[in-house]
Amino acid sequence: MAEVCTLAVDAMGGDDGPEMTVPGVLRALRRHDDIRILLFGDSARLQVALDGAPEALRRRIELRHADVAIRMDEKPSQALRKGRRVSSMWLALEAVKKGEAQAAVSAGNTGALMAMSVFVLRTMPGIKRPAIAGLWPTMRGHSIVLDLGATIGADAEQLVDYAIMGEAMARALLHLEQPSVGLLNVGVEEIKGVEEVRRAGGILRNAALPIRYHGFVEGNDIACGTVDVFVTEGFTGNIALKTAEGTARQIADFLKAELKAGWLSRIGALLARRAFLSLKRKLDPRASNGGIFLGLNGIVVKSHGGTDDVGFANALKHAREVVRHDLIDKIAEDLAAKKQMSELLQADEEEAAARQHTGARRTTAAGG
């Protein structure tokens, strides 16, 4: 049996709290016999939600009482004041900091979770702000997209950091030896886009980073899976995510309505049932549920607040996967390579400036 992976779960997060998270935990435990759960929340509600669960699964769950639950509508600053050291969200993150768990998973308030994660775990050396990265279903399988809403208006250096972290995540989750990376832009030409995106493109194109940089990509490339990692800032990334989710629901609703339009449609639906079930699985957002906070000294996974137990179990699965594939170590190695490259470039620039200054002094002396 593989080494046990311990996950700290904020059981009070999400639209339905323990009534959704606990069944999701039990589903994940059935799937993976190498995980153990630290379950944080109101112990009375958790006991009720666990009532009837098999004893073999309950033995792999440790209940830890938390006095406070963070509401979905609370501002991050309010959540920090209210839930510091006492909320289920904070205590789950603290378990990761103390080394009691390898990852924290929550379906709670995104802003509060990000604020607490930064406060408890801190960012990795050289990282200004974390990013939220998610798995995105494409025509080729899956791609990584980041940032999905953590930082609005990232600068060029942050976009480069996102590329480094997203590439490491693609190696861990998609099992790719050298993932391709693209910068989301309004066109593929180098002269297009806002200044920060163009600057980031120049750095990724010219720097000796351990990244296979593809170049600029456009919105339609996401669905095609043109690259393995799509990099953008949080405002654009979040809009793209919500648009894709809404479009998937729209297609499903349109298709369902058409298939019920008449008896011929119903017969056709029955004959094509296997194909429709396959399409339903591919469009199901629960399969890729779970955004990973990158850039922290610890793994944090954010589940969609409105998901069900199937989606929450998949968020736990993603947490297990990135732990198993040493995501933090991979990111640290790539960030170290970037730092070394930056130091070499700076040294070259200083040397060139010194030579230019010496040459100018000699010219002045000769002219005198």
Instruction: Render pLDDT for 171-220 as a digit per residue (tens, 0 to 9).
Output: 888 888 889 999 999 988 888 888 999 999 998 888 777 789 999 999 99
> What is the rounded distance in angstroms from the CA atom of residue 96 to the CA atom of residue 7?
8
Q: Is 358 exposed, middle or buried (0-12, 13-18, 19+ CB in 10 A)?
A: exposed
Give the DSSP H or E segment for 315: helix 309-324
Phi then psi for 178, rounded to 5 degrees?
Answer: -145, 85
For residue 122, give the DSSP letter. Answer: -
Give dist(CA 222, CA 215) in Å, integer. Answer: 14
With pLDDT > 90 as the criterion, what percentage of the chain qualifies?
53
d(CA 9, CA 220): 36
Most confident of 24-38, 188-202, 269-283: 24-38
Structure tokens at 89: 């969200």
CB 112 within 8 A of CB 76: yes
Confidence at residue 362, expressed as pLDDT on a 0 to 100 scale: 60
**pLDDT tens digits, residue range 281-326?**
777 778 888 899 999 999 999 999 999 999 999 999 999 999 998 8
Q: Mean of the per-residue pLDDT values for the chain?
A: 87
Q: Given the structure tokens 């989750």, which residue do they identify? A: 173
| Greater model confidence, 30 or 139 | 30
Instruction: Tell me the mean pLDDT in the region 135-141.
Output: 86
Interatomic CA distance for residues 104 and 87, integer angstroms: 14
Average pLDDT over residues 260-286: 74
Query: According to CATH, what is the number of the domain 133-287?
Result: 3.40.718.10
Pairing of strands 229-231, 180-184: parallel
CATH 3.40.718.10 fits 1-122+296-325, yes or no: yes
Nearest to 339 by CA among 158, 195, 126: 126
What pLDDT band is residue 351 in, cutting at 50, 70 and 90?
low
Do 230 and 145 meet the contact criterion of CB atoms below 8 Å apart? yes
Give the end-to-end CA distance of the chain in Å, rounded to a whole number: 81
Q: Which amino acid is at 155?
A: D
Q: Which two tokens stand for residue 235?
A: 């405002």
Q: What is the predicted pLDDT for the residue at 340?
A: 66
pLDDT exceeds 90 at position 258? no
pLDDT confidence bin for 335, thresholds 50/70/90: confident
- CA–CA separation, 61 and 36 (whole Å): 6
CA 198 to chain centre: 24
- Give the residues across from 142 on adjacent strands: 137
CA atoms lying within 13 Å on the CB side of residue 72: 14
Say yes or no to pLDDT of 84 above 70.
yes
pLDDT greater than 50 at residue 1: no
Specify the residue for token string 């297009």: 192
Phi/psi for 103 (5° steps) reads -160, 155
All CATH 3.40.718.10 domain ranges in the chain, comma separated: 1-122+296-325, 133-287
